[in-house]
Amino acid sequence: MKKVISSLASLCLLSISISACSTPASPQVEGKKEETAPAETAKGGEKVLRYTINAEPPTADPGIATDSNSFDIIYAMFEGLTNYDTKGNLINTAAENYKISEDGKTYTFTLRQGMKWNNGDPVTAHDFEYAIKRNLDPKTASGYAYQLYYIKGGEEFNTGKGSVDQVGVKAIDEHTLEFQLKAPTPFFLELVFFPTLFPLHKASVEGNPNWANEPKTIVSNGPFNMETWEHKSKITFVKNETYWDKANVPLDRIEMTIIEDSNTALSMFEQGETDWAGYPAFTLPGDAIPQYKKDNKLEVAFNPGSMAVTFNTSKAPFNNAKIRKAFGYAIERQSLIDNVVQVDVPPAYGWVPTSMGVNPDGYFKEDAAKAKQLLEEGMKEAGLSTFPEVTYYFDNDAINLKIAQALQDQWKKTLGVDVKLKYNEYKVFYADRKNGNYDFAYYRWGADFNDPINFLEIFKDKEGGNNIAKWENKEFASLLDKSYNETDNEKRKQLFLQAETILMEEMPIAPIHFRGNPFVKTDKVKGFVIYPLGGSYFKFTDIVK
């Protein structure tokens, strides 16, 4: 999110079987703490949620989005075949029911009758087929196209080795949608909840290349319609009167203010101008956490997700694995957690969250002596007599600055390396990182679905949409290819273990800690769902007196 979304990103930790269909843990719903600031309904008795996000969403296009802010607005406006209820149960939404073939390779969904786009057009199975094939089209450049590779012919079409006619998704009729998968995919019902598999209104998408940038051109099918988008300032949503389940949408409006500075956003909350502070709206400033803890007002959403340093392996000096590992081994994780993060999250010695059961013990530990040795060996291999100037890059979130400063001090103390720091507004940072305009950088990933493959396949292809490290390893990729067709639970786990061992041995990404995201809210906010797989869901949110 999950991610990166964003990440997409954060939720309750889930304990699952590696290849069996998982049952998600309950999402975070309704705070149980004292009221922190007055929430109020709008004029005329309207129920209005006042919310913030920390950056301008790059897009409202479900097929293009890869960041958490975009996903927040997309989940408000669009809806896929499945979703989650307030208890964390995966439920049918656009799908009325489904059937799975005996071999686990064919999923047939029957859509609800009477669903409409917000312009009054019917929502049909053809809209789903169109969207998925459009997102697989290489011309679309969807960052999450690889999540559609589970569909037969999806990877081949996306990589130019096959045609759109070979993609295994088909509208049998207006209300029947069939997927042919290349192998049994036990998490597929979770996957169809993801925006890359949401339907799209073909005439709107093809009639205007900028359709997803302005409210008047966004045709959507979810619980809310975008009413206004004052770019870099504010976005407002109103209840969608054409939505099939509008009777179960309590809110009349959502007023979403874009505030890049988390201290400013927290100040607005404390002054009663917003109803929510912290995750998933923004990162709660570290300085505020101790007092909220003391006042028993702090809540934490735990989730399968990882925070890390990612290295640009396409250029020196981080094209050398020993140098990358030196920086990774030099990080004092518990110190960062205790003094900067200030939330009781576990340090990460592997990339896949421990809740997914691949290797809970991790693959390495901090080791200052080993870090120095690796740096010396790596520099010798790279022909370096002195270490070059390197810059650590991050977005302009307050806690990310503190983490960066702490890392800078640790690398200086252990490795004797002077690291420069650079930050930028999220949109610029995000683009620079994606385009390889960095040395090493802040990176976090939240689960899009509950399976280790979601964390590992990021790195399968060098030019993959989310592989910003630009790392590749043929043996690693081969292990993942084998996992796609492996139906034995234990054998599949072993493939993941071997793959993650390679990943951590070459360390294109240095994990720091697994995720736990603090937040506070007013007592008047009820039914707000933090997805089990990260992000905000506003459909069931209510504002009560």
389, two tokens: 């100037």
Residues 200 and 78 in one domain: yes
Q: Is 175 domain-assigned?
A: yes
Q: Is 147 domain-assigned?
A: yes
Residues 391 and 458 in one domain: yes
Q: Is 534 domain-assigned?
A: no
166, two tokens: 């070979």
418, two tokens: 């002077």
Contact 318, 440 (CB under 8 A): yes
18, two tokens: 């590696």
Residues 228 and 310 in one domain: no
Q: Is 190 domain-assigned?
A: yes
495: domain range?
Answer: 303-518
Rounded Cα distance, 220 and 240, in Å: 9
CA 418 from centre of chain: 32
Q: Is 1 domain-assigned?
A: no
Angle ∠(440,445,450) on CA atoms, nearest 5: 150
Rounded Cα distance, 9 and 7, in Å: 4
Question: What is the rounded (10 degree) CA torsion for 407, 282, 10, 495?
Answer: -40
Rounded Cα distance, 67 and 63, in Å: 12
pLDDT the model gives residue 44: 58
CATH number at residue 446: 3.10.105.10
Residues 337 and 463 in one domain: yes
Write b or e for each residue in 286-298: b if 16 or more Cβ atoms lie within 10 A of its Cβ, otherwise e. bebbeebeeeebb
Residues 103 and 206 in one domain: yes
pLDDT the model gives residue 350: 97
For residue 24, give the 3-state DSSP assignment: coil
Q: Is 535 domain-assigned?
A: no
Q: Give per-residue pLDDT as tens, 390-412.
A: 999 999 887 899 999 999 999 99
Cα dist from 527 to 73, 298, 432, whole Å: 18, 17, 37
| Predicted TM-score of the model (pTM) | 0.74
User: DSSP state, 36?
Assistant: -
Q: Is 400 domain-assigned?
A: yes
Q: In what order do the strands lie in the sheet with 28-29?
A: 28-29, 529-530, 536-537
For residue 278, give the 3-state DSSP assignment: strand
Residues 250 and 311 in one domain: no
Residues 364 and 501 in one domain: yes
pLDDT the model gives residue 477: 96
Residues 370 and 512 in one domain: yes
User: DSSP state, 339?
Assistant: I
Residues 325 and 469 in one domain: yes
Residues 127 and 192 in one domain: yes
Residue type, 230: E
Number of domains in the chain: 2
Angle ∠(503,509,510) on CA atoms, nearest 5: 105
CATH number at residue 101: 3.90.76.10
Rounded Cα distance, 183 and 24, in Å: 22
Cis peptide before 24 (omega within 30 of 0): no
Rounded Cα distance, 62 and 251, in Å: 23
Rounded Cα distance, 362 and 346, in Å: 11
Contact 27, 279 (CB under 8 A): no
Q: Is 524 domain-assigned?
A: no
User: Which residues of the chain are under the pLDDT cut of 50?
Assistant: 1-42
